[in-house]
Amino acid sequence: MNAYKSRRARRPHAVIIGMMGAGKTRVGKEVAHMIHVPFADADLEIEREVGMKIPQYFERYGEPAFRRVEADLIADFLEDFEGVFSLGGGAPMTPSTQDALADYIARGGRVVYLDADPAEAMERANRGGGRPMLNGDANARWKKLFKERDPVFRRVANVHVHTRGLTPQGAAKKVIDMVAQRTVHVTGATIEPYDVAIGEGTMGHLVEVLGPKPHKIALIHTQPVQRHSDRARALLRQGGYEVSEILIPDAEPGKTINVANGIWERLGEEGFTRSDAVVGVGGGAATDLAGFVAATWMRGVRYVNCPTSLLAMVDASTGGKTGINTPQGKNLVGSFYTPAGVLADMRALVTLPNDIFIEGLGEVAKSGFIRDSEILSILESHADELRGFDGSSFLGTPLEDVVAELIERTVTVKAYHVSSDLKEKGLREFLNYGHTLGHAIEKLEHFRWRHGNAVAVGMVYAAELAHILGYIDQNLVDYHRSLLGSLGLPTSWNGGSFDEVLALMHRDKKARGNMLRFVVLDGGPGHMVHLDNPPADAVEEAFRRIQQ
C-alpha cells in the first residue's frame, strides 16, 4: 500500500493531554475550529456514556471504575475518530491508555502535551470546579499530581507545546504548527538524546533547544543562506542571547583548518566559555564545520544545527559526525560529537536551487538501499515531481509532504545506525554505501562535484562490484541506474584514472591498513555486508563499468 494512503487511516488528527487547567478543552476546540475538523472531550463523552457527571460517578463507583470506563472510551476514539481529541488530566496514567497512545503514535498519530504555566493552570483548575482529584487543598493536590504526572506525560507525548503567556488562539496556532512537524528521536547507549524536528517553522524552537545556560552564541553560516541566518539571529536576540555572527565560505571551501582556526581565534577574542554555544545554519559543509568547532572549543560546547539544504537535513546535520577536509582527502580530521538538536525547517528549502535539491536525493536513495525500501518506492512514485523541484512554489503543495516523509524516513535510518554505533566501528559504516568511490570523485574533481552526485555514482559502482562478485543480480544493478537517473542524478563518471581513484580509496576511513573495504548489498536492498579486500581485477572492472 502507498505510504500516503496508509497515513490517512481513521485516527484522530491530534490527541491533547496535560494537567488539569492546562486548557486542553479550550485550546483543543480552537485547533479543531481552525483546521475544520470535529472536536471531542473525553470527559464529556464519558459523562454521556455513564449518564452522570464525573464527580458523581467518582463518588458512587470510585476512581478505579472510572479509569476502566475512561480507558475503554479512549481506546475506541483512537481507532475511529477523525478530529481533535482531548483527554482528562489523569487519563495517560493508566497503563492500557499508555499502550493505546503508543500504538496511535506508531500509526502516525500526534500526542500533544499541553505544558501550561503552573500558576495559570492551577487558577483555571480551581475556577472550573467539579474536579474530584483536587478535593481538599486544591493547589497542594495539583502540585503533587504534577510531580507524578509530568514525567509520564513527557514520555507518552511525541509533541510538547509550551503555552506560557499565550492566548488560547495563540496556543492553538502553535499546536497546529507543531502537529504538522515530524520528530525523529535520536538516542543510544553513548549518546545524549536529541531530536531532529522536521517541518515548516521548526527554526522557531531554536531558543527552546539551546536552553537558558548559554550567554553567547556563535552563529556560523554561509552567504547564500543569509536570509535564514537573519531569522536565526532575530530569534536568538529575542531569546536574550549575545550573538556573534560568523560568515564562512560556501560549500567545501568552508571546511578547512584555516576557516576553523579563524573561528577559534574569534571565539577566544570574544571570551566564549564552555557554557556558551554554537549554531550552524547552512548546507552540509556549514553544519559539519559548526559541529567541529563546537566539539573542539573548550573540549566541547552545546550546538544546534539548522540545515538549509536537503542533503544537510538528511545527512550532515544528524548523527554527530563533524569534520573538516585536508589536502589529502575529505573528512579526514573530525570528531564524533552530537548536537543538542537539529531543526530541519522546510521553509529553508524555498531558496534551494533545483540542482542542489536533487543532489540531496542521492543520500535519500542511499538510505532506501541500505535499510528502508519504502524510500525507494516513494522516490519511484514521485521521481518526476522531485526532479522538477522548484523551491519558490514548493510549500503547501503535495510534494511538501512527500519531501517531509523522505526526510523523516532517511533521518530515521541514520538514527538507527548512529544509535547503535556512534563512532563508526561497524554498523554505522553501512551509512557509507557509495561513499568509498564518491569521496574519491569529490577529491579528484576538486569538490566541483557535489556530494550527493558523487555518492550516486559511488552506489552504482558498489552495485557493479557486488554483481561481479556474485552478491546481487544484474537487475539490481540496472535498478540503481534507472532510479538514480530518473531523479536527475548522475550514474557514471569519467574524470580520472583508475590509479588515482585507487590511491584515494586506500585513504578512505573504512580502509584497514593496506586493505580496501567496501559496503555492498547482499541479495537485495536492506541487506548490507562489509566487503574486505576484494580481488583487484573486480575493483578495476567495476570502475570501468561506471565510466561508460
> From the annotation, which residues make up the binding site?
21-26, 43, 67, 89, 131, 149, 250-255, 284-288, 308-309, 321, 330, 363, 435, 451
Specify the amino acid at residue 377.
Answer: S
Q: Are 196 and 186 in contact (CB under 8 A)?
A: yes
Q: Tell me the binding residues for NAD(+).
A: 250-255, 284-288, 308-309, 321, 330
**Measured distance CA(157)–CA(92) in Å, rounded:** 9
Specify the amino acid at residue 452.
Answer: G
Q: Tell me the binding residues for Zn(2+).
A: 363, 435, 451
Q: Tell me the binding residues for ATP.
A: 21-26, 131
- Grid cell at residue 346: 522546510
For 528, counting Cβ atoms within 10 Å of its Cβ (0-12 exposed, 13-18 middle, 19+ buried), the class is buried
SS3 call for 517: strand
For strands 329-336 and 341-345, give the pairing: unpaired
Residues 6+ apart with CB under 8 A from 383: 483, 486, 487
Please state, as a whole number, how many other Cβ atoms lie within 10 Å of the Cβ of residue 393: 10
Q: Are 19 and 116 in contact (CB under 8 A)?
A: yes
Q: Are 195 and 341 in contact (CB under 8 A)?
A: yes
Residue whose grid cell is 531523479:
487
**Measured distance CA(300)–CA(310) in Å, rounded:** 27
Q: Which helix (H) or strand (E) holds 188?
A: strand 182-188
Q: Tell me the binding residues for substrate.
A: 43, 67, 89, 149
Closest C-alpha among 336, 335, 334 to residue 326: 334
Q: Tell me the binding residues for Mg(2+).
A: 25
**Measured distance CA(183)–CA(485) in Å, rounded:** 30
**Measured distance CA(296)–CA(323) in Å, rounded:** 10
- Grid cell at residue 125: 483548575
Q: Are 145 and 131 in contact (CB under 8 A)?
A: no
Q: Which helix (H) or strand (E) holds 96?
A: helix 95-106
Instruction: Quote the crossing angle between the two packed helices 63-80 and 95-106, to the nearest 10°.
Output: 10
- What sections of 239-353 are H helices per DSSP? 257-269, 284-296, 310-311
Checking 88-91 for CB contacts under 8 A at 24+ apart, the result is 88/42, 88/43, 88/46, 88/54, 89/18, 89/19, 89/20, 89/22, 89/24, 89/131, 89/133, 89/145, 89/149, 90/133, 90/145, 90/149, 91/17, 91/42
